[in-house]
Amino acid sequence: MPPQYLCPMTEPIIDPFQRAISYLRLSVTDRCDFRCVYCMAENMTFLPKKELLTLEELDRMCSTFIRLGVEKLRITGGEPLVRRDIMTFFHGMRRHLYSGALKELTLTTNGSQLERFAADLAAAGVRRVNVSLDTLDEEKFARVTRWGRLPQVLRGLDAAQAAGLKVKLNAVALKGFNEDEIFTLAEFCAARDMDLTWIEVMPMGDLGNEDRVGQYWSLNDLRAKLAETYRLTDLPENTGGPARYVRIEETGQKIGFITPLSHNFCESCNRVRMTCTGELYMCLGQEDRADLRPALRNHPGNDAPLEEAIRAAIGLKPEGHDFDYSRQRADGQVSRHMSHTGG
């Protein structure tokens, strides 16, 4: 491979709490073909397209992070696969997988476009995908996504598995909505050799008519309900994300729990999130951010200012977030929508 395409390592980035940053979650668009009630308002005002980083700029940004020690890159949105020509970016990132600098390239998707893109993603070096799916009930799915169609997503799951991709479902636990589906979803995933991760709803974005405290369902309660039927064994493994895992002994499958409210995971946080406009959020649950776009655009052909800006931003990474529902209000709430930062 020509030397100019390789990404020689420099000194890795370490935050003030001695956590090495090895995981970047990159939002490539704030647009989505769904309007999930915990993520977006129904009538969203999206960013002007000229404000988004170009695909070439996204490549340069990610390559710089990889040079600084990022080994896992997760592409998010919005819905990442609705961005025009996004597969050009995925195929560009493949060179870092070939060099060994990047250990994993993956994405989180709503599944709507997987039927179209699964084979191409596999060819680009993607080996697994996370698909957001909160219910297997077609009417409830239409209600929670507002614009989504469940059969389209199920076809996407089929296409992903046919392409050889490992699929994990992510389900947001919503009180009064999918409490009755924890066994249905577990059995669906077991039958299809998929893992499943449950996520507590987070207080992000002012969606007007959405009651976050009323939606909140502690995963401690969900796990206890699972344990009434299944034998659960805690697993020590860590996939680089915030989930804690158990194995269901009856099926052998893994179930993950992401618990930013009932049991936060900040002490081991190794990740940062970047928006499609080049804003770096050092913590999902804090408003502090660093705008990397000037360092990127004002110095074409010179990555040193961008590296310096990234290091300065990581130097401001907080110890943890402040999400808290214990006082029956969404303390620690941040104003931006989840779709702005990336799921």
**Binding-site entries for S-adenosyl-L-methionine:** 38, 78, 132, 202
Q: At residue 324, what are phi and psi to the nearest 5 degrees?
A: -160, 125
Of 110, 261, 242, 135, which Cα lies nearest the Cα of 200? 261
Distance CA 78, CA 320 (A): 24
Instruction: Pull the structure tokens for residue 326.
Output: 């214990």
Residue ranges for the known binding site for [4Fe-4S] cluster are: 32, 36, 39, 266, 269, 283
Distance CA 36, CA 39 (A): 5
3-state secondary structure (DSSP) of residue 14: strand
110 contacts 129 by C-beta, under 8 angstroms: no
- Cα radius of gyration rounded to whole Å, the chain: 19
DSSP 251-290: T--EEEEE-TTTS--GGG--EEEE-TTSEEES-TT---EE
Find the angle CA(268)-CA(280)-CA(94) to the nearest 5 degrees: 80
Distance of CA 234 to the CA centre of its chain: 23
3-state secondary structure (DSSP) of residue 309: helix
Residue 272: how many CA atoms within 13 Å on its side-chain side? 34
Residue ranges for the known binding site are: 25, 32, 36, 38-39, 74, 78, 108, 132, 168, 202, 266, 269, 271-273, 283
One-letter amino acid for residue 279 of the chain: E
257 contacts 219 by C-beta, under 8 angstroms: yes
Residue ranges for the known binding site for GTP are: 25, 74, 108, 168, 271-273
Instruction: Pull the structure tokens for residue 51.
Output: 């404000």
Pairing of strands 104-109, 244-248: unpaired
